[in-house]
Amino acid sequence: MEVVIIGAGIGGLTLGLMLHRARIPCLIFEAASELKPVGVGINILPHASRELCGLGLEDALTKVAVVTRELRFYNRYGQYIHSEPAGRYAGYEFPQFSIHRGDLQQVLLDAFLSRAGTDRVVTGWRCNRVDAETGIAYFESSTTGKSLEAQRGDVVVSCEGIHSAVRKQLYPQEGPPKYAGINMWRGVTRWPRILTGASMVRVGWHKPAKLLLYPIRNSIDAQDRQLVNWVIDIETPEYQKNDWNRPGRLEDFIHILEDWRFDWLDVPQFIRSADTILEYPMVDQDPLPRWSHARLTLLGDAAHPMYPRGANGAAQAILDARVLADALREHSDGAAALSAYEAIRLPATSEVVLANRRAPPDRILQEVYRRTGDKPFTNIDDVISREELTTLSESYKRVAGYDKDSLATR
């Protein structure tokens, strides 16, 4: 059996590594002519970390990432609401990593090339279409438009992301991604350690704004500063087409944060010190009725684009890769393998997509916002009990598949 993978992002490279471990040959095609460290930060939660550590990548990830110690929640007045340990500090067998997306992709790429061979990733070729019945994929040059010789696989997997050409081929009437009514500005700032120096912090709510921040690189200069990833979410009816690399403008949102000056962080100064600012709308798509058609299937954001909440986009792609590789190892028939993969992952990821809409991982902030009317409180225990805070946090972990009970029995 041989597998053609379309896309050398996190999902495609993880699948390549999983297939190599299963001794199933694969060839990865990437539209970009050169793989560069683009994007900003993401988190690798324990269920995804488990899979990457199982591929022997823990040491490589630890060298370039920040091992997350805790999660902390505040209202927009800087008042403390809740905290809980993360990863191994919470008793999980595997760590939680906060990492630059480009660093994660480079770790995956280096591992795949060293194990499978440097000829196993072909760059500069964009997929036009796939014949699902024959497993033949058609590509053209990203720069010249020249056609590549048709590539046949026993299985073809689209890992192209939310703008997957293969998904559009399968569902031409689907329409554009659905906007959540929340626009995001995100960036990275070189800054002294905040709180523990390994804290993921969520502040406020979408009205007027919500801030997420966490460090993604340690000791980046002589001052021992960190590279800190941040995201600002603001409800707005206006947005531009989703493009992870579109520059954002400070003046579009900084006025909302001018009084966010806490004893542990001056937010306006922190944001104004950013190296880069990007803008992206919070979008997803409704779950599909099926991903697999004969020899063709979808994986990651090509299969289940979801709101970028809870570090679950990359995590679910990594879990997809594990299940698909296992199915291909267990079934000699490609179509049967894809059916087995879809039967496990489609319902699981559909639940996460819908949970991100109705009950996001920062629902704690939403509930405190609702109960206080967005006003400061005197004592958080008068607003919400510790038991309720824990229940809200654990409920999302169960849906996303990284509560301790689920991981222990998997």
Reported as a single tens digit per residue, the pLDDT across 149-177 is 999 999 999 999 999 999 999 999 999 89
Angle at 11 between CA 165 and CA 197, to 5 degrees: 130
Residue bearing the bigger pLDDT, 111 or 357: 111
**What is the structure's pLDDT at 39?**
73
SS3 call for 79: coil
**What is the structure's pLDDT at 242?**
58
Interval 203-236: pLDDT, tens? 999 889 999 999 999 999 999 999 999 999 999 8
Interval 15-60: pLDDT, tens? 999 999 999 999 999 999 887 767 789 999 999 999 999 999 999 9
Q: What would the two tokens of residue 128 be?
A: 């036009």
**What is the structure's pLDDT at 206?**
85
pLDDT at 237 over 90: no
Name every residue whose Cβ is closer than 8 Å to that of residue 8 and which is 6 or more positions away in sequence: 28, 29, 30, 32, 35, 105, 109, 121, 123, 159
pLDDT at 244 over 70: no
Distance in angstroms (rounded) separating the CA atoms of residues 142 and 126: 6
pLDDT at 243 over 80: no
pLDDT at 398 over 90: no
Superfamily holding 3-46+106-176+289-358? FAD/NAD(P)-binding domain (3.50.50.60)
Interval 261-305: pLDDT, tens? 999 999 999 999 999 899 989 999 999 999 999 999 999 999 999
pLDDT at 240 over 70: no
Domains in the chain: boundaries: 3-46+106-176+289-358
pLDDT at 391 over 70: yes
pLDDT at 360 over 80: no
